[in-house]
Structure 1
Amino acid sequence: MIGFYLHHHGSGHRIRGTLIARRLGVPVVGFGTGEAPQGWPGMWVPLAADDADVRPERADVAAGGALHWAPLHHPGLLERHAAMAAALQRLRPRLVLVDVSVEAAVLCRLLGIPVAVMLLPGERDDAPHRLAHGIAELLLAARPVEADAPRGPRPWDSKTIHVGAISRFAGRAPAADRAVDRRRVLVLGGTGGGGPAPREIEAAAEATPDWEWLQRGGTGGFVGPERLWSELSGADAVIVSAGENAVADVAAARRPAVVIPVPRPFDEQLATARALARLDLAETPDSWPEPAQWPGLLAAALRRGGDGWDRWEGDGVDGAAAALLSVYRRHGGEA
């Protein structure tokens, strides 16, 4: 058995974890706040919330800088870790993939269970990240190795595998061409917050009368994956945040893109946007542009096209599953 800890902020961690779990071909157990994600292929252990009624200035949530989130005397945190420990004792998984939590990784390793950790973009050189990366037997990066900015060697480089983008739409055929008079741009939002306000999208649409604007996610409402793929792969251009899953879906669709980072801890999305700029894969303004900038941005995205996205992809979910199974077998797991 392989375990998965999947963070609940946004939907990306849960979608990515489910894709990998379904590809493994071995029993899995998942841990996370609330109910199991859609399509989860095995057992699921729902965890109590650990962020309600927390006053950070009194709770020493970072344990003096050694951790990221461990508020003192919090009943949800205690219940959460107790539930994980009890399930791990009962089920004895050979490996747990953590996407992503320093505290969950440390808990598993303290219980004698090997851990793999998703290596997210951004500045991850603080003490808690160094701890989690140091104890992990495997680090998986869902991006190409070229996406990481040049830097000096790190102790975990030898156990890091860059598998490229992981998308639920990988390998799908694009939608049929639309018979329309105007080009269409799709604004693709997520559940993590921080996207454009409706008035900002309206102003951008008014500045680009030759374009039809369609919004999905965020304040634009959500649709099922089949319809989303049809609209994504059929769009002439896509506007999206720099979250790893969002970028992976655009890469799978090979669409011209404007990728706009939203504020996230450790400059996660900013790092991804800068990588896309270095690789010349998308237009990457630092924030939502002024209306007058949109005609030029969309024109530039069209000129670039979407063929370059194959540089962002790789073995994806297959590579992630293969790397996990290698560690799993090393610890006595049977596939």
Structure 2
Amino acid sequence: MIGWYVHHHGWGHVTRMQAIRPHIDDDVTVFSSLPQPASLPARTTWVQLPSDSEPVVGSDGVHREAHERGDVTAGGALHWAPLRHPGHQARLAAMADWVAVHPVSAFVVDVSVEVTILTRLLGVPTVVFAQPGDRTDAPHRLGYDLADRILAPWAAGTIEADGLADHDDRVHRVGAVSRYDGRDRDVDGRPDVDGDERRVLFLSRTLDAPRLAATIELLTADGWIVDTAGAGDDDRVADVWPLLCRATVVVSAAGQNGIADLAAAETRALVIAQDRPFGEQEHTARVLAALGLAVTVREDATPTEVADGVRRAAAIAPGWQAWQATGAAARAAAAIEEVAA
């Protein structure tokens, strides 16, 4: 049996689990503060954990934020370990209790240094996911030191992660894990970049509403057909694959899952890195630009700069094979099962 911790910021971590899970031939129990997804693969159990960041009522009846109750980093040794927080204590206890009564062969952590410490202290072989950016701080180093296996969801020779420098014997660079890996590409539906129809897809919230509207106006005036998916409040799309496949250019943030999906669709892209902890997206965007896989602009780019970036992206022919999305989910599963064997 395999345990799996899914971080609750955004949906990227659960999306990655859902991409890898079908390739694992074992029971999996997932722990997360996120609510259970609408569908789960067979032999998968979801345990929703309490929040570890909500305000706590003290003995004086006053609501206080977690960081107001004391040092949440244990002097910089950890990222988040709030003092005397019932939710934090209950979530760690839930995982420890589960380990105590189940034959756990491995525990996957995506991502949390504190959960990595917990599972390794419980004597469970632990697999952690690495992330781009500057991960050389003390908590990240400790998490990598404790891991039995480190999965880097990028191809060798792409992301240079200084935090992994001393752990090469345990790092598996499996390639970019996409939920669409193996799905047929509708290449016949993609407009010819030299033809009359040019179509751009704005994927997720890369621009605020006023800049998005102004950019769309510029591109529409230039003859582009514009699609959006998750770029606003009312345009969520359950399955963006057809939109990815028919777009001449996709405008995307530089999150790991989003870029993996671009690679799976082999589409031209304009990437706008969002401000994230440890410079994760800025790091990824620099690599994409250096490898010629995407055009990039600053997060605060003007509508004119974004529209120009879309036009420039239409002129490149990215070699997404270098990002190694094909087979990445299966390679990650194989590395997990190797630890669990």
TM norm. shorter chain > 0.5: yes
Show the counterpart of 2:225: 212
Cα 1:6–1:120, aligned 2, differ >3 Å: closer, same or farther?
Answer: same
2:184 matches 1:173: yes
- Contact preservation (8 Å) 1:18, 1:37: no
- Deviation digits for residues 149-173 of structure 1 (CA, Å, limit 9, x no counterpart): 3859722121101111111111222
Shift of 1:47: 0.5
1:238-249 to 2 correspondences below 5 Å: 238-249=250-261
Cα distance, 1:60 vs structure 2: 1.0
Query: 285, 290, 297: which one pairs with 1:278?
Result: 290
Q: In structure 2, the residue corresponding to 1:64 is in which secondary structure? A: coil
* CA offset digits 1:2-51 (Å, max 9, x no partner): 11101111111001112212211111111111432343331122100111
Mapped pair 1:143 → 2:154: yes
SS in 2 for 1:81: helix
Q: Which moved more, 1:49-58 or 1:127-136?
A: 49-58
Aligned to 1:333: none
Gaps of 5+ in 1: 330-335
Task: Give CA deviations for 1:239-291 in whole Å, capped at 9, x if unaligned.
Answer: 00000000011111111000111011111111111110121100111214212
TM-score normalised to structure 1 length: 0.91
2:210 counterpart of 1:199: yes
How far 1:58 moved relative to its partner?
Answer: 3.8
- In the other structure, the counterpart of 2:59 is none
- Is 1:8 the counterpart of 2:17? The answer is no
Distance in 1 of aligned mates of 2:161 and 2:105: 34
- Aligned to 2:232, the other structure's residue is in SS state helix
Q: How far apart are residue 117 of structure 1 and its match?
A: 0.3
Q: Find the aligned partners of 1:172 and 1:27 in 2 and give their Cα distance.
A: 25
What is the DSSP-based 3-state SS (H/G/I as helix, E as strand, rest coil) of the residue aligned with 1:3? strand
Cα distance in 2 for partners of 1:254, 1:164 equals 15
Cα offset, 1:77, TM superposition = 0.4
**Cα gap change, 1:152 to 1:132, in 2 (>3 Å):** closer
Matches within 5 A, 1:178-327: 182-189=197-204, 195-208=206-219, 209=221, 210-220=223-233, 221-225=235-239, 228-306=240-318, 308-314=319-325, 315-327=327-339
The 3 A distance-change label for structure 1 pair 94 and 150 is closer
- 5 Å-filtered alignment, 1:9-24, equals 9-24=9-24
For 2:278 and 2:161, locate their aligned partners in 1 and report how far apart those are by CA, in whole Å. Answer: 17
Alignment partner of 2:53 out of 48, 51, 57:
51
Any idea what SS the aligned residue of 1:161 has?
Answer: strand
CA–CA separation in structure 2 for the residues paired with 1:129 and 1:153: 10
Alignment RMSD, CA only?
Answer: 1.9
Deviation at 1:80? Answer: 0.7
Give 1:87's aligned residue.
Answer: 98
Partner-residue secondary structure (3-state), 1:154: helix
CA contact (8 A) 1:143 1:163 kept: yes
Aligned with 2:10: secondary structure? coil
* Amino acid paired to 1:25: D
Structure-2 residue corresponding to 1:128: 139
Tell me if 1:25 matches 2:38. no
- Note if contact 2:36-2:48 (Cα within 8 Å) is conserved in structure 1: yes
Q: Deviations over 1:285-314 (max 9, x none)?
A: 1214212223431222111134x1111115
Q: Which runs of 5+ in 2 are unaligned?
A: 56-64
Of 131-140 and 203-212, more deviation after overlay is shown by 203-212
Kindly report structure 1 stretches of 4+ aligned residues shifted beyond 6 Å: none
Q: Is the 8 A contact 1:15 1:37 kept in 2?
A: no
1:106 corresponding residue in structure 2: 117
> 1:36 and 1:187, CA in 2 relative to 1: closer, same or farther beyond 3 A?
same
Distance across 2 between alignment mates of 1:297 and 1:158: 40
Provide the rounded CA distance (Å) in 1 between the counterparts of 2:79 and 2:35: 24
Aligned-partner residue type, residue 332 of structure 2:
A
**Residues in 2 aligned to 1:22 and 1:152: alpha-carbon distance in whole angstroms:** 30
CA contact (8 A) 1:34 1:48 kept: no
Structure 2 Cα separation of the partners of residues 159 and 40 of structure 1:
30
Is the Cα contact below 8 Å between 2:130 and 2:151 reproduced in 1? yes
Deviations 1:208-234 (A, max 9, x none): 222122211142521222xx1111111
Identity of aligned residues (%): 39
